[in-house]
Each structure stands twice: as C-alpha cells, then as structure tokens.
C-alpha cells in the first residue's frame, strides 16, 4: 500500500476493498489508492449478528411486520467482501441511530459564573461495591491496562503487554470472554451506544471494531490506517478524531467513504498533542481533553483548535484517562498519586477522591446511568473496583450563599 504522506483527503472505492479481500477479483472499477481499508473476518457469528441488526432495523421501520430470522450459511470469497461492506454499513447505521449523537458546537462557550459558585458546594459520595482480580484467568500474564468502557452489564478492559481485551460480566463478577489482539491495544472506545468497541493497535497501524454478541467479544471489522493511531474519539455522525502523538497530529477519520485526513491546528496545539496519551471528547461543549502523562497535565482544546487551557495540580501525577460525567464534571486518573481528580469542564480543580484506596489507577469509566464508577488499577493489585457514585449539592451552604447575595 502507498503510505499516506500529506494526510490529504482521499476517497476509497468499494472496488479497492474487494481487491484486498478477493484474490481473483476483476478490477473494473477504477482506483486502488488505499490509505484506509476495511477487512471483515469470515465468521458465521458475525454474519448472524449483521443479519440480526438488519432485522432490527427493518422492525423499527415497519413495526407491524414480522421479520423472520435468517440462518447463516456458507459464503464464497465474494461474499466475504460483501460482508465487509455490510459490517461497515451496520456500524454507520448504528451510529446514526445512536441516542448520544449530538452535533458539536463550533464555538468556545463561556462558563456560567453562578454555576462556578455553586460548584464549590458540590459533594461527591463514592462507596465501594465490590472489586476483583483481573488476572484470575491467567491469560493476562503481563498486565497494564490502557482503558476500559462500560457497556450494559459488561466492562471491557484493554490490556497492552498481554495484547488482549477482557470482557467482565458485572453481575457474575467474572471474565466471560477474551479477545486476543495482533498487537498492543493502547485504547478502547465505545461507540453507537455501546453497540461497537473501537480498539487502537498502533503497532499494527490498525483499528479493530469489536462487538459483544452472545456474551463474547467478536471482531467485525479491521480498519487499516497505514499510520499509527493511539486513541480515537467519536465526534458526530460517522466521523472520529484519531491521535498520532509521535508526530503531534490529529486525524479525522470518516467511515463514510473511508477517508483519513489531517486536522490542521496551531503549532501550540501540535506541541500539546506530541507525546500525549489519551483523548476524551466532551460533546456538550465540544472540548477535547488531552492527557499528557509525562508532563503531569491535562489540556483542553476547543472545537476550533485554537484555544487551550491546562490543568496542573501538585497531586496530579501521571494522569492517563479522563471520563466526562453528565453532571458536567470530568474525572481524571492520577496513577502515581493513587487518587482520582474531579475538575469542571474547563479543568478547574474541585476535589480529589479515593485517596489511599487505589493502587496505580489508569482506567476509569461510568455505567449507562452514571451512578456507578469503575476504576482499574495497573499495579500491583490488577484489580477492577466498582463504586456507587452520588453527586449532590450542599443545600444549606447554597441557601446561605443565596441569602447573602440577595441582601
């Protein structure tokens, strides 16, 4: 494949995809220029999943019609190419139907002063529910977590040195499935309301798209990027941001047409992105949070790519992953100080949580209702901890402040 040089937009035809997947394909339809290609594994379970998704989509369009399920059957090499395109179409359809899809606001929002004042009297109540050892199956011989996501009754954890993704059943408190990656998974992201998981494999210059089917993790699509992408965040529709920290480059990935292009930004932003670790996107305010572990800082970048603000704190040591809560607060892991930091959307310090209770926290995620919090330690316990989470205001202090303000 021709390497991507200037990251300019390039269209990728369906014929290009079929050429890669089908050995004896008759190359009739033009360009074979490939910077981003999709490959689909030949798996009956995946085929069944795609047909089920299509059936569900048909039911939503025609609720009064009964759609009969279709049994999987053997396919030829040409069908493998069709399944690849079908999987990509299913992913894009799920993204369009996603409840969490919101158009970003292309401007910098000024924080509300009254909200800032009230934030001072917010209380965070965190209570441990249970914890367990992620190495119980002995398939994670070397353990360093690079992210986690909470999807329904499951939590998926990316483990780098052992090159795997573990699926934990929260109700059963056990690992129920393991997906072995071709190289180190350096991030994991849930998209389309958790219907799919995107796992970045920068050593392979690839992104694997996984799904949870019948309590098992299955790969439905492989996206060959030809450049190492360490993390991705969903923007809106079928568009994503990808991070290449070695060059300080932010890439826009478009699933429709399979395009990869560079997002041009200022030199300051490029310096921020260089040697960074993680991306987190706040869709409500269109702010991109960049974790810079080696610099012990987290930087917020607005949608226009020009404004940036930085969070420093004496107890923030090796921040790795961030998680945005619906309340408007951002939770940050601090691996070397063994605490969680809670900041506002504009990275203003509020408090620290779980001091002395964690051992090298690197990964963090919320459940769907965001009343529970999961934290994954890396060393030495390799434990997943689940906490009940309540965020509430101190009404007495707020009433006192309101009384003084009115007088």
Residue 100: pLDDT band (50, 70, 90) is low
80 and 211 inside one domain: yes
Residue with tokens 């089920």: 52
Q: How many domains does the chain have?
A: 2
Span 234-251, mean pLDDT?
A: 90
Average pLDDT over residues 135-158: 81
What are the structure tokens assigned to 158, written together?
């990316």
Is the residue at 157 inside a domain? no
pLDDT of 291 over the 60 cut: yes
Higher pLDDT, 60 or 190: 190
Least confident of 110-124, 271-285, 314-328, 336-350: 110-124
Give the DSSP H/E element, type plus range, for residue 40: none
**Of the candidates 128, 139, 175, 134, the residue with the CA atom closest to the CA atom of residue 380:** 134
The reported pLDDT for the residue numbered 53 is 52
Identify whether residues 254 and 385 lie together within a single domain: no
Residues 129 and 197 in one domain: no
Mean pLDDT of 364-380: 89
Q: 121 and 20: one domain?
A: no
User: 334 lies in which domain range?
Assistant: 113-145+277-407
Are 340 and 375 in contact by the 8 Å Cβ rule? The answer is yes
Return the CATH number at 125.
Answer: 2.120.10.30
| Burial of residue 171 (number of CB atoms within 10 Å: 0-12, 13-18, 19+) | exposed
Cα-to-chain-centroid distance, residue 344: 20
Cα–Cα distance measured from residue 268 to residue 35, given in angstroms and rounded to the nearest whole number: 27
Tell whether the model's pLDDT for residue 20 goes beyond 70. no
The average pLDDT across 86-105 equals 69
Instruction: Report the distance separating Cα 118 and Cα 121, nearest Å.
Output: 6
Please compute the mean of the pLDDT values over residues 365-392 and round it to a whole number. 87
Record the tokens describing residue 136, joined without a space.
Answer: 């119980």
In 10 A of CB 362, how many CB atoms?
25
Q: Which of 306, 398, 309 is nearest to 346 (CA)?
A: 309
Q: What is the mean pLDDT of residues 146-157?
A: 95
Looking at residue 405, what DSSP letter applies? H
For residue 120, pLDDT beyond 70: no
Helices (H), 172-241: none
The one-character DSSP state at 369 is T
CB-based burial, 113-133: b 16+ in 10 Å, e otherwise: eeeeebbebbebebeeeebee
Total-model pTM: 0.73
Pairwise CA distance, residues 332 & 275, whole Å:
18
pLDDT greater than 80 at residue 309: yes
Task: Say which range, 229-233, 244-248, 337-341, has the weakest mean pLDDT.
Answer: 244-248
31 and 124 fall within a common domain? no
**Per-residue pLDDT at 1 exceeds 90:** no
The pLDDT of 364-385, averaged and rounded, is 86
How far is it, in rounded angstroms, from Cα 95 to Cα 93? 5
Domain identity same for 257 and 294: no
What was the pLDDT predicted at 346? 92
Give the contacts of 209 (CB within 8 A, at least 6 positions apart).
Answer: 87, 91, 196, 197, 198, 199, 219, 220, 221, 222, 223
The pLDDT, as a whole number, for residue 109 is: 34
Quick one: pLDDT at residue 83? 40
**Predicted confidence (pLDDT) at residue 398 exceeds the cutoff of 80:** no
Together in a domain, 224 and 305:
no
Q: Which of 244, 241, 251 is nearest to 191 (CA)?
A: 241
> Are 324 and 398 in the same domain?
yes
* pLDDT at residue 22, rounded to an integer: 40
Residue with structure tokens 């180190």? 184
Same-domain check for residues 283 and 394:
yes
Q: pLDDT tens across 47-89, in order?
A: 555 554 554 455 444 443 433 333 333 333 332 333 466 777 8
The verdict on 244 and 382 lying in the same domain is no
Average pLDDT over residues 269-292: 91
Residue 158 has pLDDT above 60, yes or no: yes
Q: Is the dihedral of CA 274, 235, 376, 338 positive or negative?
A: positive
Average pLDDT of the chain is 75
Confidence at 219, pLDDT banded by 50, 70, 90: very high
Find the mean pLDDT for residues 289-315. Answer: 88
Q: Note whether residue 150 is domain-resident.
A: no
| Same-domain pairing of 90 and 222 | yes
Asked if the structure places residue 103 within a domain, the reply is no
% of the chain exceeding 90 in pLDDT = 42
How high is the pLDDT of residue 34?
40
């Amino acid at each position: 494949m021709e390497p991507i040089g200037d990251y300019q937009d390039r269209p990728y035809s369906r014929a290009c995809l079929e050429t890669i997947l089908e050995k004896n394909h008759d190359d009739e339809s033009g360009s074979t220029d490939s910077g981003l290609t999709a490959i689909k594994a030949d798996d009956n379970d995946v085929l069944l999943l795609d047909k089920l998704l299509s059936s569900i989509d048909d039911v939503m369009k025609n609720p009064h019609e009964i759609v009969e399920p279709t049994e999987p059957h053997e396919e030829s090499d040409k069908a493998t190419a069709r399944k690849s395109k079908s999987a990509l179409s299913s992913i894009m359809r799920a993204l369009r139907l996603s409840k969490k899809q919101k158009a970003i606001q292309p401007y910098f929002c000024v924080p509300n002063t009254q909200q800032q004042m009230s934030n001072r009297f917010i209380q965070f109540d965190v209570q441990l529910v249970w914890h367990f050892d992620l190495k119980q199956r002995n398939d994670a011989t070397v353990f360093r977590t690079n992210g986690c996501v909470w999807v329904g009754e499951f939590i998926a954890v990316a483990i780098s040195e052992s090159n795997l993704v573990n699926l934990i059943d929260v109700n059963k408190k056990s690992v129920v499935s393991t997906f072995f990656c071709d190289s180190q998974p350096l991030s994991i992201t849930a998209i389309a309301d958790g219907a799919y998981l995107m796992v970045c494999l920068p050593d392979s210059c690839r992104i694997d798209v996984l799904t949870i089917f019948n309590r098992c993790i299955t790969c439905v699509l492989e996206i060959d990027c030809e450049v190492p992408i360490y993390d991705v965040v969903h923007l809106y529709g079928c568009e994503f941001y990808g991070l290449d920290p070695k060059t300080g480059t932010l890439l826009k990935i478009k699933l429709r047409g399979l395009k990869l292009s560079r997002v041009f930004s200022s030199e300051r932003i490029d310096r921020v992105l260089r040697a960074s670790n993680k991306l987190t996107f706040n869709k409500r305010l269109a702010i991109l949070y960049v974790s810079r572990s080696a610099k012990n800082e987290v930087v917020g970048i607005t949608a226009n790519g020009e404004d940036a603000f930085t969070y420093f704190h004496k107890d923030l040591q090796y921040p790795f992953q961030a998680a945005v809560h619906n309340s408007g607060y951002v939770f940050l892991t601090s691996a070397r100080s063994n605490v969680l930091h809670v900041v506002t959307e504009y990275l203003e310090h509020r408090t620290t949580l779980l001091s002395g209770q964690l051992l090298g926290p690197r990964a963090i995620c919320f459940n769907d209702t965001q009343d529970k919090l999961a934290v994954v330690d890396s060393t030495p316990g390799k434990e997943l901890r689940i906490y009940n989470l309540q965020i509430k205001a101190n009404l007495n202090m707020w009433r006192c402040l309101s009384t003084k303000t009115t007088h």
